Structure 1
Amino acid sequence: MSPVQINGPENGHTRSATVAPGSLVFTAGAAPIDADGATVAPGDVSAQTRQCMANLKVALAETGASLADVAKVTVFVAEHLQADLVVAWDVVTAEFGDHKPAGSLLGVSVLAYDDQLVEIEAVAAIPS
């Protein structure tokens, strides 16, 4: 059982999440890079978001956590159109399924890798 209690959601957005005592996991930003360090799907927000989520799952698994343990997710999108933020958010929420962690969606100017449009970081709670 996950130590994350979701407070909300209201109007499709979770207001907050409460975690039980245990360990917190703070991930670095998961980038849309493959095993060789190459940026996946330049120009494709949806495909890059899926790769970021795959990389995020690996980072969480290394700590014994999963998406079900995530209390907070932050999605960064380096695009100029608000619609592209929605595209990324739709992929993220689909990956989480029924689990709806608190989240932030940000439009930014630039990200670290060439052709990178998306980056995702998370805070997860692992039961003690």
Structure 2
Amino acid sequence: MKYLRNFLFWLALASCSQAQPPAPAKVPSGYLYKVDTGIPGQTVYVCGERPFNANGDLVGPGDLSAQTKQILENIKTSLATVSMSLKDVTQIKYAVKDGTGTTLVGENATQLLTSVQASYFTTAPKIVEMKNVTQTVRDDVLIEVEVIAVK
């Protein structure tokens, strides 16, 4: 019996050492708040959305278009958690990094954001705001987005 116990102990120990590590958890980059979509007319805010994928990796370093697309995908995912979609978005605010300190988003950036937005929204949100910021959460993050959606 003693030998059987020792054998089972070593067998269990060997199986533990071969166990696979758990999959990494999704790293949220933005957050939702004031969520109660069971009541029509309730508002959902998605704030501080950034261009990180499900693994927490930055998407599109130096590429405003790729970063904007990743952010809009993240927003779609966030809204889906509360049974909403991009069709429910009434306001979107783009904060684009610009080291010059100017207050208006450049023409090229505005055209690019408008083009990417058109590929995600069949109808543009009622309010669209684009502004320059001199700083974001990280130097390689070119854009942050906030949206307001109404059920």
Q: What interval of TM-score do these two structures reach, taking the shorter chain for normalisation?
A: 0.7 to 0.9
**Structure 2 counterpart of 1:100:** 124
Which runs of 5 or more structure 2 residues have no equivalent in the other structure? Answer: 1-39
**Structure 2 counterpart of 1:5:** none
Separation of aligned partners in 1, 2:135 and 2:114: 18
The number of residues matched between the two structures is 105
TM-score (norm. length: structure 2): 0.64
Q: Which has the higher strand share?
A: 1
User: What stretches of structure 1 move > 4 A for 4+ residues in a row?
Assistant: none
TM-score (norm. length: structure 1): 0.74
Question: Relative contact order: is structure 1 or structure 2 higher (C-alpha 8 Å, sep ≥ 6)?
Answer: 1
The structure-2 alpha-carbon separation of the partners of 1:89 and 1:110, relative to structure 1 and needing over 3 Å to count, comes to farther
1:72 lines up with 2:68 in the alignment: no
1:117 lines up with 2:142 in the alignment: yes
Q: 1:25 deviation in Å?
A: 0.3
- Give CA-to-partner distance per residue, 1:27-80, whole Å, 9 cap, x none: 112110011212111100000000000001111111111110011011111135
AA of the residue aligned to 1:121: E
Which runs of 5 or more structure 1 residues have no equivalent in the other structure? Answer: 1-20
| Identity between Structure 1 and Structure 2 (%) | 33
The structure-2 alpha-carbon separation of the partners of 1:120 and 1:73, relative to structure 1 and needing over 3 Å to count, comes to same
Larger radius of gyration: 2
CA RMSD of aligned residues (A): 1.6
